[in-house]
Amino acid sequence: MNAFKLWYHKLGSPPYFYVFAGYIQPWLWTIALALAAAGLYGGLVLAPPDYQQGDAFRIIFVHVPAAWMSLFVYGVMAVSAFIAVVWRPKMAEVLAMESASIGAAFTLIALVTGSLWGRPTWGTYWTWDARLTSELVLLFIYLGVIGLYHAFEDPRQGARAASFLAVVGAVNLPIVHYSVVWWNTLHQGTTVRYFGPSSIAPSMLWPLLAMTIAAKFYYGASLMGRARVSLLSLERGKDWVAEIVRKEPAHG
Amino acid sequence: MKFSDASAQPMIEARALAFERRDERIFGPLDFTLVAGSIGLIEGDNGSGKTTLLRVLAGLLRPTAGDVRVLGAAPGSEDARAAAASMGHLLGLKGDLSALENLRIGIGLYGCKAGADPHAMLERVGLEGYAEEPVRTLSAGQKKRTALARLALLPARLWLLDEPYANLDRHGIAVVNALLAAHADAGGAALVTSHGAVRFHQDVSCTIRLPA
Amino acid sequence: MKFSDASAQPMIEARALAFERRDERIFGPLDFTLVAGSIGLIEGDNGSGKTTLLRVLAGLLRPTAGDVRVLGAAPGSEDARAAAASMGHLLGLKGDLSALENLRIGIGLYGCKAGADPHAMLERVGLEGYAEEPVRTLSAGQKKRTALARLALLPARLWLLDEPYANLDRHGIAVVNALLAAHADAGGAALVTSHGAVRFHQDVSCTIRLPA
Amino acid sequence: MSAVGLADGFRAMLQRDLLLAWRRRGDALLPVLYAVIVATLFPFALGPEHALLARISGGVVLVTVLLAMLLSLDAVFRGDLDDGALEQMVLSPQPLALLVAARLLAYWLVTALPLIVVAPLLAYMLGLERAAQPVLLLALLLATALLALIGTVLTALTVGTRRSGMLLALMLLPLAVPIVIFAAGAVGAAQQGLPWVAPVAWLAAALALALVLAPLACATALRIALDS
Amino acid sequence: MSAVGLADGFRAMLQRDLLLAWRRRGDALLPVLYAVIVATLFPFALGPEHALLARISGGVVLVTVLLAMLLSLDAVFRGDLDDGALEQMVLSPQPLALLVAARLLAYWLVTALPLIVVAPLLAYMLGLERAAQPVLLLALLLATALLALIGTVLTALTVGTRRSGMLLALMLLPLAVPIVIFAAGAVGAAQQGLPWVAPVAWLAAALALALVLAPLACATALRIALDS
Amino acid sequence: MDKFLAMGGYADFVWPAYAVFFLVLAADVLATVLRRRRVLRELRGRIARRSARQRGSVSA
Ligand code: HEM
Ligand SMILES: Nc1ncnc2c1ncn2[C@@H]1O[C@H](COP(=O)(O)OP(=O)(O)OP(=O)(O)O)[C@@H](O)[C@H]1O
Ligand SMILES: Nc1ncnc2c1ncn2[C@@H]1O[C@H](COP(=O)(O)OP(=O)(O)OP(=O)(O)O)[C@@H](O)[C@H]1O
Ligand SMILES: [Mg+2]
Ligand SMILES: [Mg+2]
């Protein structure tokens, strides 16, 4: 408990976090790139074509990690947004707001790769299916949070307002998901089912896992980079920032 | 009466109060105390932060440094809000409602000083005959007078007034001064901004100068 | 220079000018002449019709009786509009644009006085360093100064100013007076409203008193 | 000095808003007219095929009514912000949530109620079955109240910003989707003669929750938004 | 003193409006988002039945785009009226019709163009046939311009009144119906593989007329509206 | 190699999907780098202005 408190207070202090993030960032990058390289090789070269879908299934190695990340990042964002609303530490605001942009990027990827995958498998880029629709709604929530953040002139005020929205949106997310499921069963739609995850062979599974973990590490790396910049701009009156700016090479 | 014991209670106490926006200093650090029965003047040039200071005291903005108490409570807390009333550059009047209706709304939200009457107050600020006119059709000075009448009806003990003299003619200025004097005599306190162009008639107990 | 022949040309001539709304007399009948190189003062209490008179002269309202000419043309006609510029209670600035951008728009619509420069003018009214700020973040007095700077850039020979002193500090008032003096010296004319609370520094050639 | 009671503040706000709406009663009719326009334009845009129109009538009326409400949502606090009345509300000794609740009630009465009154007529014009009409009315009642409650919270969040309009729409969409799904689900079920109680019950439950939480959330959001 | 040319005033106004739109680019996106929302909500309200959605897709997109424009029509002169800029325009030596034309062009560029860009995507999501897409685009181009021209004249007329919103909607409806009929007629014909040139030609003719007359009418209407 | 690029006839879908994945993430990284540069430039300007002001007020 005490160790946790110490850690919390240390990481909650912007100058300390800045240094810490700068320290772990290269490690995160290295792991992410290595895993991605392995996953790509395994997914694009080693794995045999699917007996039903041919080579189209290879989209899975980008689609599924992105889709999972879109939800995972939202979770992280919602937790730190909640902390930001209740206790107002600056670090929680920063992490929530920077997560939103990354999450939106993953959601966009999931949507686009999904619809690119849908064309060969379902015969259409878009259909009003439950999962597709709720992913679209998720993108709107992310965009709402980002938009609200930037709409305020004072970034801390914007962060507080947007965090509030992120928390409210988190409540909404399961509601959207299930309502969309029920909605589809209410009317008899022309929904196409996904193929079951059980049919995944080990030769496909390990590249998928590699890509998924790579995406998580990418998220960490990108978040650290973003948080560092955000801290510099938020704390621009403070001496530690002046110190860092003085040390930084002229166009870093 | 102004220097009786009961009224020497501090209405506002500010210690090292400062405000910065995006870490540019707007005003401060300021130290001052405003006691009951007295009138304070905030003087400063255009853009020196008078409006911002009043908004901090009202609790609309959070000071970035220092400490301030309004009747012992934090600005913007329920106790402080019950004790203070303010008038800003924007008067908060509804143009589509009549002057009288606007006063009634103010009373509904803030309550009414014992024995005060909206009709009589409109007459006192020189708006006889305008009680039923929509505020939108009043002239700039008449709107200001309506806002003053609303202020004077409320039970608030502390007034925060941003340029109460602007847009008023000589009679209007006299009205403001009379209202202020009566308020102080009754044990209230007021903080008034001014850039010194209009002569302030009254003995002012404290002057807060904001450098440009 | 003010009394040279060329500048004695009449800028505004009003004969039995009156305005009523819903057949209530707001002002008038008024007779006055404002010649080039001079400054006229419209004095009156709150609600006496000063703003209304200026709007009639600008051509926004149509007089209900009498006759008025602005540089020989009817108010609001193309010739009159080319010669006059006005500043009212509402300043007509765009809050989302910077002070400089607002000046540029004014120049685009009205043209620019020969040799006038927006940057220099902003400095002259005391807004160095605020040229790039969005007008919405300026203080009340700074907004007013921006509007004054815009006015002084235009080639208009006749200025119609509604309470130019309101919200300004001492330095701001001096700026207005300096701008007025320069304008009159260059052969222009101005009509300024006031309720007499602020001392008007200058020799005023004609005073129009509106009874309350 | 007479202290002011809680009921006073609520009553004063409600009275004020109703009075204002009455003074500008033309504006209050705008959403209704808007809904009428949409419902009128649809047959022109789709061709007067009766079966098709009847099939989509419930959904069209629902979407139209909710969008007409959206139209005026942006203005819930706009006027009060522009003329300084919102500050007066925030600074008054009354609990802000209470004043907001009054504002909300007035908003619903002025905007949604006329829409609900006119909706059956529109549905009839588009050919909705008689049997589904009561369900439509019920669904509208719940859905408009829910939308008003959720919408004002979001409006409050954007009150201090420059780009309120877009943001509002952006933030509201995800929250409006479930409302539309349940409301349309109920109407659709009624149209086909299926049981429609379940989706209505869900809406009612959500409404009960929102009635308690929304004014509080709204007050919080207003304070966040004004603090600049 | 350097006199100011006609082109200067037009350019200054256009620049100003585009700059303002850019500063508040969030707001400019509002109609687009609004259209996206409507198009997203429709499947929820009607059910995801592909054939039905495709059948009504053209009409829905058309009505949605035009309504999204209506949404912002009320604001064309509102801001300038509130902060006194409209008075400055009226009092400037420039011909008012010219300034109004610049205002109008900016309005169309900012509001309608993004809508037209996004419309094909919406139509695709709702399942409109590939073949009808160009016709939809053409119809939208003409219809939005026409609506903008007619709408601003009416907006100008109502600018000084208290009940502008309602009046606007009331007056615009009879004028919008023919536009929708012709535009939807063209799209519908294209969807069924029939010739669609005639309705488009009618729209184009009306547009040519409106281009000349609308700025003049608008300037006159503004003068009338301000004189109170 | 050609066979690999053809993706069994699904090249039109597979490669754009991968391209989107990497381009969007690259854009995310690039945005951060650019923002970092801008922030540092601004900070340098601020610091220069502030020290100039301090020097000015000392000499005055
Ligand atoms: C625009 C279209 C699509 C979108 C927005 C989308 C979205 C998603 C989302 C959000 C998930 C994560 C769900 C969760 O973990 O609960 C997911 C997982 C998945 N998607 Fe997609 N998807 C799309 C199209 C497709 C297509 C066409 C296929 C294949 C035919 C597909 C196959 C999968 C698979 C296999 C998973 C992982 C298995 C699972 O978690 O259940 N998706 N997708
Ligand atoms: N919302 C805002 N955002 C950024 N800066 C602001 C904002 N409001 C005010 N300022 C700046 O803060 C400073 C102080 O403004 P304030 O309105 O408090 O001045 P003031 O003393 O009331 O002046 P005046 O006499 O002109 O009313 C000004 O330089 C102004 O530009
Ligand atoms: N739009 C309007 N409709 C009806 N009456 C109006 C309108 N505008 C002004 N009035 C009335 O006309 C009279 C003159 O108003 P005006 O604004 O001209 O006064 P003013 O001399 O400018 O006063 P102030 O010094 O307060 O600005 C006032 O009694 C006012 O109530
Ligand atoms: Mg001020
Ligand atoms: Mg006036």
pLDDT value for B4: 44
pLDDT in tens, B92-129: 888 888 999 999 988 888 888 888 899 999 999 999 98
Backbone conformation region of residue E5, classed left if phi is above 0, alpha if psi is from -120 to 50, else beta: beta
Over 60: is that where the pLDDT of A196 sits? no
Residue F6, token pair as written in the block: 């053809």
Neighbours of C, requiring at least 3 CB pairs below 8 Å, are B, E
Specify the pairing of strand B189-194 against strand B39-44.
Answer: parallel
Cross-sheet strand order for the sheet of C206-210: C84-87, C158-161, C189-194, C39-44, C206-210
Over 60: is that where the pLDDT of D50 sits? yes
Distance A129 CA to ligand 1 centre (A): 11
Q: Is C55 in the pocket of ligand 3 (CB under 6 A)?
A: no
CATH number (domain holding residue A171): 1.20.120
Q: Is A64 in the pocket of ligand 1 (CB under 6 A)?
A: yes
Average pLDDT value for residue range D23-31: 75
pLDDT value for E162: 55
CATH number (domain holding residue B163): 3.40.50.300
In a domain, F9, yes or no: no
B94 close to A (CB below 8 A): no
pLDDT value for A22: 93
Containing structural domain, residue A37: 30-45+56-188+201-234
**From the CA atom positions of chain F, what is the Rg in Å?**
25
Q: What is the mean pLDDT of chain B?
A: 86
In a domain, C109, yes or no: yes
Nearest 5 degrees, angle CA B153-CA B154-CA B160? 110
> pLDDT class for B161, splitting at 50, 70, 90?
very high
In a domain, C4, yes or no: no
> pLDDT class for B3, splitting at 50, 70, 90?
very low
How far is the C-alpha of E38 from the C-alpha of D59, rounded, in Å?
12
Could you give the number of structural domains in chain F? 1
CB contact under 8 A, E13 and C97: no
3-state secondary structure of C91: coil
Q: Which residue has the higher pLDDT, D75 or F36?
A: F36
pLDDT value for E9: 84
Residue E94, token pair as written in the block: 């420039």
- Residue C181 phi/psi, 5° resolution? -60, -45
Alpha carbon nearest to ligand 1 atom 8, residue: A67
Distances (CA, A) of A83 to A11, A80, D192: 14, 5, 47
Distance C49 CA to ligand 3 centre (A): 6
ipTM over 0.85: no
Q: Is A180 in the pocket of ligand 1 (CB under 6 A)?
A: no
Alpha carbon nearest to ligand 1 atom 19, residue: A64
- Residue C39 phi/psi, 5° resolution? -125, 125
pLDDT value for C43: 87
Pick from F7, F20, F25: CB nearest A55: F7
In a domain, F1, yes or no: no
pTM of the model as a whole: 0.79
pLDDT value for A189: 41
In a domain, B5, yes or no: no
- Residue B20 phi/psi, 5° resolution? -130, 150
Could you give the number of structural domains in chain A? 1
Containing structural domain, residue F29: 20-60
Could you give the number of structural domains in chain B? 1
pLDDT value for E163: 53
pLDDT value for C198: 60
Containing structural domain, residue B191: 10-209
How far is the C-alpha of B162 from the C-alpha of A55, rounded, in Å?
72
Which residues of chain E have a pLDDT value below 70? 1-4, 25-27, 30, 71, 160-170, 227-228
How far is the C-alpha of D152 from the C-alpha of D149, rounded, in Å?
6
In a domain, A7, yes or no: no
pLDDT in tens, E17-64: 998 888 776 667 767 877 877 777 777 777 777 777 887 888 888 878
pLDDT in tens, B10-21: 899 999 999 987
Over 70: is that where the pLDDT of B164 sits? yes
pLDDT value for B199: 60
In a domain, F7, yes or no: no
Query: Which of the listed residues B20, B41, B51, B160 should we mutate to test ligand 2's pocket, taking the one with most ligand atoms within 8 A of CB?
Result: B51
Residue whose token pair is 């969030």: E26
Highest mean pLDDT among A160-174, C191-205, D78-92: A160-174
Residue whose token pair is 């690119």: A116
Give the distance from residue A165's alpha carbon to the nearest chain D alpha carbon, in angstroms.
8
Nearest-by-CA chain A residue for B61? A157
How many CA atoms, within 13 angstroms, populate the side-chain half-sphere of residue D110?
27
3-state secondary structure of E69: helix
Choosing among B57, B109, B154, B160, which should be mutated to test the D contact, i.e. which has the most D CBs within 10 A? B109
Q: Evaluate whether A192 touches A120 at the Cβ level (below 8 Å).
A: no
pLDDT in tens, A62-97: 999 999 999 999 999 999 999 998 888 889 999 999
Please classify residue C206 by burial: count the beta carbons closer than 10 Å to its beta carbon, then call 0-12 exposed, 13-18 middle and 19+ buried.
middle
CB contact under 8 A, B111 and D93: yes
Specify the pairing of strand C10-21 against strand B189-194.
Answer: unpaired
3-state secondary structure of D90: helix
Residue C189, token pair as written in the block: 């004319």
In a domain, C172, yes or no: yes
pLDDT value for A30: 96
Distances (CA, A) of E148 to E101, E137, F22: 11, 16, 42
Q: What is the mean pLDDT of chain A?
A: 85
Q: What is the mean pLDDT of chain D?
A: 83
Distance B58 CA to ligand 4 centre (A): 14
Residue C116, number of CB atoms within 10 A of its CB: 18
- Please state the three-class secondary structure of chain B as a single string: CCCCCHHHCEEEEEEEEEEEECCEEEEEEEEEEEECCCEEEEEECCCCCHHHHHHHHHCCCCCCEEEEEECCECCCCHHHHHHEEEECCCCCCCCCCEHHHHHHHHHHHHCECCCCCHHHHHHHCCCCCCCCCEHHHCCHHHHHHHHHHHHHHCCCCEEEECCCCCCCCHHHHHHHHHHHHHHHHCCCEEEEEECCCCCCCCCCCEEEEECC
